[in-house]
Structure 1
Amino acid sequence: MRALNEAAAEWTDDGQEISSLLGAVGERIRALRKERGLTIERLSELSGVSVGIVSQVERGKANPSFTTLAQLSHGLNIPVGRLFHVTEQASPVVRKKDRRRLDVHGLESDDGATFELLTPDLNGALEATWVQTPPGYDTSGTPYRHNGEEFGIVLSGCKDVFIDGVRHRLEAGDSIRYSSTIPHWYANPGDVDCHSIWVITPPTW
């Protein structure tokens, strides 16, 4: 999925055009909500996003973070990519050189982490991502919580996975599975990059 700032890169830096993009995303959310017969209040309940924020996003009056978009998409039971009309690949094979680069979980973040989509699209029941995080990487400031389940395996380096505040240290070859509805975050406590593969169902990006 290309998050909001990546999609905005296809537009010019003119504030009015970026505002139009926010409006288009809001209209897409409103249309999908109405297709499902949901009120704003019900979408708020399903997504965990306040009624006021849902209303502002739908009217293009807010610049939502990735976390907010992910919560809304889960409330609508769709992958985030559908909010941007992402064109999916037809082939079931994803070549290394053709992996789709994903934005980090935080639209203004620049922490050196790399996320690449290993599945050919976000239309299926799951997504798989190649994750590379540098030493010191830490998402404790923005814990994640959403519908679904996650599985991860560390290929090299080490990764701390915190599930409801409990730390689970994974080293090369170690794997983990947990419910995404439980608050969770990640850190790289080592002195080298950590390479891992993460599988999430349903798709989050």
Structure 2
Amino acid sequence: MRVGEARLSDTAESLKSIYLGADLRALRKSRGLTLQDVADRLGKSVGWLSQVERDISRPEDADMVHLADLLDVPVGLLTPVSEEGVIVRKDGRRAIGERIAGLTEELVSPDLTDAFEVIHSTFAPGVSRSDEVLRPTQEIAYLVSGRLDIWINGTRHTLTPGDSARIRAQSFRWANPYDVPAIALWVIAPPVY
């Protein structure tokens, strides 16, 4: 291996870790947690967590699992696989979401550092969310394929491919009572995952 190749490899690896700290900070803040809150729950110092969030230090694998549990996200979300924070390949999307059976959510955005996030959601046939969601966000749901029923402030709408729905800090729930998966792209601002 040539010296230049090793440096490029090291640079790519360090670029991946750059987004870990920013993503952790965004997740922590979106949950209303302070550095002290998270450090206390992990049994770590505020200094350690601050260094992780500033990408000065990288947590051990066990710490990553504890951070994911604490922030209620899959551990894979804390492992960026985008190309230098610019490109996200289809097979490199990170799983996110609330882990509802029949719903698969993946981060399309390279990381969680923008003023918004883009989520690729696949709703399996028969899956639904009966409890209403209410978040302080603005969201656009764009249906790529299938059909999806969505209730916004109690009013039911059926989306078909090419339709979109806007949600502005309104309660909503959804269901796919149809026999094919529904695939949607969600743009959410500010990021909540």
Instruction: Quickly name the TM-score band, shorter chain normalised.
Output: 0.5 to 0.7
Q: Which residue of 1 aligns with 2:161?
A: 172
Q: Helix, strand or coil for the counterpart of 1:139?
A: strand
Change (3 A) 1:25 1:165: farther
Q: Which has the larger radius of gyration?
A: 2
Whether 2:153 is the aligned partner of 1:159: answer no
Q: Which residue of 2 aligns with 1:147?
A: 136
Q: Is the 8 A contact 2:148 2:182 kept in 1?
A: yes
Change (3 A) 1:64 1:168: farther
TM normalised by structure 1 equals 0.56
Change (3 A) 1:24 1:65: closer
**Structure 2 Cα separation of the partners of residues 99 and 192 of structure 1:** 22
TM normalised by structure 2 equals 0.59
**Of 42, 50, 58, the match for 1:24:** 42
Q: How does 1:107-126 map to 2 (within 5 A)?
A: 109=100, 111-126=101-116
Change (3 A) 1:160 1:21: farther
Report the number of matched residues.
Answer: 136
Q: How does 1:188-199 map to 2 (within 5 A)?
A: 188-199=176-187
Q: Which residue of 2 aligns with 1:130?
A: 120
Q: Which residue of 1 aligns with 2:53?
A: none
The offset of 1:25, in angstroms, is: 9.1
Change (3 A) 1:176 1:22: farther
Change (3 A) 1:86 1:197: same
**Structure 1 Cα separation of the partners of residues 165 and 43 of structure 2:** 34
Q: Which residue of 2 aligns with 1:204?
A: 192
Q: Is the 8 A contact 2:94 2:106 kept in 1?
A: yes
